[in-house]
Amino acid sequence: MAATAGGSPGDVADVVRAELRQHGAAVVELADTLSDEDFRAFGAHLGDAMPEIAPAVQPFVTDGVILNLVTRHAHTADTSLQPFAENSLSLHSEGSGRTAGEQPRYIVLMCEDPGADPASAQTVLVSMSVVLQRLSAEDRAVLSRTRYADLPAGETILREHEGREVFAFRDFLHDELKWVNEGDDGDDAVDRALQALLAGMYESGASGVLWRRGLLVVIDNTYFFHGRTAGVSSPAHPRHLKRLRLR
C-alpha cells in the first residue's frame, strides 16, 4: 500500500525517509505531480542530484539533473535509446560499472503520465537480501572476490555496505561481461557464481509498480535491483516518468 503525502517538498521527504528506513524503498501517492523546481527541492532533502551527462540522453534532460523517461521509440537494439523505447530493461543496480563512491544511493521516479497502457512498462524491484539468501556460501565468497574488469581493485560485485552485504551488478543479457577475480577462484567457479546470481535475481518474488499520475517511488540502490517490463509506444499518449539520481 502506498503512503500518501502532500504539502512542501520537505513534508514529502519526511514521509519518504520513514518508508526508506523501514522498507528500503518508498511508494508515495502525491496529490499532484511536483513541479521541476519542487522535484529538485525534494531530492535535495535526500541527497545531491547527480548530473545527467551522457550525450545520448541530453534531449531528455531538464535542468541538468532531471531525466524525462518518455517512451518515444519502438523496440531498438541501440542501448542508449532503450530507456526511451518499448524495450524491457534487465535487472540491475544503478551505476554498477562505477566505483561505489560514484554510484547513486537513491533513484527517484515520479509519474507524470502512465501512457496509453498503464499496465505495460512496469518498474520491477527485486530485494538484494532475498537474492543473497538464494546463493550458497561458496557463491557469495566467489562474488565477493570478483569485479568488473574495468573497475579498480576492491570494487567487487558483492561487497559490504553499512554492515550489510550488497550487490553492484547488471544483467548484461547477450553482451559480454568481462570480469577479474581477485582471489584464486577458477573460471568455472566464477561462472557458476554468476549464473547462480542471475538465477536468483529472476526467481519469483519481484514487485511491479503500476504507474499512475502522481505516484512517486524512491529506491535505495543498496537494497533493491530494479528493471522494467516491456512497454508500448504511443506517439499520441506516451508514458512519462521523471527521474533523479541522488548521492
Domain span at residue 133 reads: 128-202
Average pLDDT over residues 219-245: 93
Say yes or no to pLDDT of 1 above 60: no
User: In this structure, are 117 and 34 located in the same domain?
Assistant: yes
User: In this structure, are 135 and 158 located in the same domain?
Assistant: yes
User: In this structure, are 198 and 213 located in the same domain?
Assistant: no
User: In this structure, are 7 and 85 located in the same domain?
Assistant: yes
Q: At what angle do helices 9-23 and 36-44 cross, to 10 degrees?
A: 50
User: In this structure, are 107 and 137 located in the same domain?
Assistant: no
Beta-strand pair 207-209/123-127: antiparallel
Give per-residue pLDDT as tens, 22-58.
Answer: 999 999 999 999 999 999 999 999 999 999 999 999 9
Give per-residue pLDDT as tens, 59-103.
Answer: 999 999 999 999 988 899 888 889 999 999 999 999 999 999 999
CA 131, 76, 58 angle in degrees (round to 5)? 90
Say yes or no to pLDDT of 236 above 90: no
CATH of the domain at 44: 3.60.130.10
- CA-to-CA distance for 244 and 49, rounded, in angstroms? 6
The C-alpha cell at 38 is: 519542487
User: In this structure, are 223 and 179 located in the same domain?
Assistant: no
Count of other CB atoms within 10 angstroms of residue 56: 12
User: In this structure, are 59 and 92 located in the same domain?
Assistant: yes
User: In this structure, are 94 and 176 located in the same domain?
Assistant: no
